[in-house]
Amino acid sequence: MARLLVIDDDRAFRESLVEALRDFGQDVAEAGSGAEGFAIIDSEPVDLVFLDLRMPGLDGLKVLSRLRANAAQPRIPVVVLTAYASSANTIAAMRLGAFDHLVKPVGRAEIAEVLRRALAAGAEQAAGVAAVEEGPLVGSSPAIRAVQKLIGMAAASDATVLVTGETGTGKELVARALHDYSPRAEKSFVSVNCAAIPPELLESELFGHARGAFTGAVAARAGRFREADGGTLLLDEIGDMDAAMQAKILRVLQERVITPVGGAAEPVDVRIVAATHRNLAALIEAGRFRADLFYRLHVIPIALPPLSERAPDIVPLAEHFLRHMAADDPKRLSSEAAALLLRHAWPGNVRELRNAIERAAILARGKVIGEAELDFLRPNPLPPVEHDAGGKSNRMLPEAVAELEAAMIRRILAESGGNRAEAARRLGINRQLLYEKIRRYGLE
């Protein structure tokens, strides 16, 4: 039997979680605030903490930070809980050493699984950075939250990271997040698109050159590795790099030494993140990519999901882009426009969504973006809208919102295999509200 502690200011949720944990045969203490939690931790050994993120006074990140700084018990596994998941608090929590980051409401099966894993692990990552206000990767779908957690766990390390994903999924955002949440954050982040630079110029671009090394080299050049010294270098589209340059990059990864064109070897301190939309395994099979370089890059792999697998993030991403374009007075999406965004396949991923929202915002005359402004996303022309004799649409906003809600709930329930707890988590609502909407829309 393990000694557990639940710290949460929501009494109803805390008591429900405590009851579930006791049903699993555990000894459980509870606290309604961070201060009460520390009093318990200081007085008795604790094997695992379930910690709410949003609390008055000491919030969850502050409690986690203090707990990690506590030399007496620095390795207690901590499971962070929140009803308001974001990339910022997910990455920050994982960076601070949280064992996991769960979204309320949490089902019994999920509690049992994280309890098993946390107690089996018996130790936790040691880390300590302050939380940040804004996150780099918008979204709370399970697919993108898995990426956020990986970033949080990998950021403190200098290990090489290989980011894969379709074009437009945000691979550079991942690299920047790894840098911004790392101890190298005060140093430079440098990005090089290996596919955009001719092979004969790439060596000089990366490693620099000495004066007079070749015709036209009238002055010495530092190169991108030297510019990123102490910081992070992103080698974007590394799958397009030619064989000769692959060998040189392999040497840098092995020896941490670069050789400028026409110059002498010199050490460099750079964290390397590589990214590609190509299938490197297939390139290796075809003899177009070195297997030994792949294994050097593949220390920490992060695979970005396509936007088509992140349906719950589409509308929040669109709203994020609208706020970014006009923070003081952003335009809004109508329910019909939001439904159209959800139906589109998004082959260009997040980049396509951003461009579509920018175009729609420019075309919209008023403050609300409707279906007409997004008609270019349709494979066929927009069907005519029914109007009454006065020229007004017969469709009222509540009716359109209800139709959109019912469609989303029906789809998520199908994708969740009828698991209502999982569907509620993916929809970002509590189970009681989901049950009410299922009943209201006749989805039983």
The predicted pLDDT at position 217 comes to: 72
Is position 128 within any domain? yes
The predicted pLDDT at position 291 comes to: 97
198/298 same-domain check:
yes
228/346 same-domain check:
no
180/258 same-domain check:
yes
- Pick the last residue of a domain from 305, 322, 342: 305
The predicted pLDDT at position 388 comes to: 52
Is position 151 within any domain? no
181/255 same-domain check:
yes
Is position 147 within any domain? no
3-state SS track over the chain: CCEEEEECCCHHHHHHHHHHHHHCCCEEEEECCHHHHHHHHHHCCCCEEEEECCCCCCCHHHHHHHHHHCCCCCCCCEEEEECCCCHHHHHHHHHCCCCEEEECCCCHHHHHHHHHHHHHHCCCCCCCCCCCCCCCCCCCCHHHHHHHHHHHHHCCCCCCEEEECCCCCCHHHHHHHHHHCCCCCCCCEEEEECCCCCHHHHHHHHHCECCCCCCCCCCCECCHHHHCCCCEEEEECHHHCCHHHHHHHHHHHHHCEECCECCCCEECCCEEEEEECCCHHHHHHCCCCCHHHHHHHCCEEEECCCHHHCHHHHHHHHHHHHHHHCCCCCCEECHHHHHHHHHCCCCCHHHHHHHHHHHHHHHCCCCEECCHHHHHHCCCCCCCCCECCCCCECCCHHHHHHHHHHHHHHHHHHHCCCCHHHHHHHHCCCHHHHHHHHHHCCCC
Count of the separate structural domains present in the chain:
3
Is position 380 within any domain? yes
The predicted pLDDT at position 122 comes to: 58
314/417 same-domain check:
yes
Is position 171 within any domain? yes
246/338 same-domain check:
no
Number of CB atoms found within 10 A of residue 13's CB: 18
Mark the ranges of the chain whose per-residue pLDDT is less than 50. Answer: 71, 123-134, 380-385, 391
Is position 152 within any domain? no
Q: How distant, in Å, are the alpha carbons of 2, 161, 194 from that of 205? A: 56, 21, 10
301/162 same-domain check:
yes
- Pick the last residue of a domain from 247, 276, 305: 305
Supply the CATH number for residue 190's domain: 3.40.50.300
129/167 same-domain check:
no
344/408 same-domain check:
yes
Q: Is the dihedral of CA 158, 163, 168, 169 positive or negative?
A: negative
DSSP 60-110: HHHHHHHHHH-SSSTT--EEEEESS--HHHHHHHHHTT-SEEEESS--HHH
State the Cα–Cα distance between residues 61 and 112, nearest whole angstrom.
Answer: 23
The predicted pLDDT at position 116 comes to: 83
Domain limits for position 122:
3-139
101/209 same-domain check:
no
State the Cα–Cα distance between residues 49 and 40, nearest whole angstrom.
Answer: 11
Supply the CATH number for residue 383's domain: 1.10.8.60
At residue 420, the 3 state secondary structure works out as: helix
Is position 70 within any domain? yes
- Pick the last residue of a domain from 278, 305, 332: 305
267/366 same-domain check:
no
200/90 same-domain check:
no
pLDDT, tens digit, 9 for 90 and up, residues 201-231: 899 999 988 887 776 776 888 889 999 999 9
Is position 145 within any domain? no
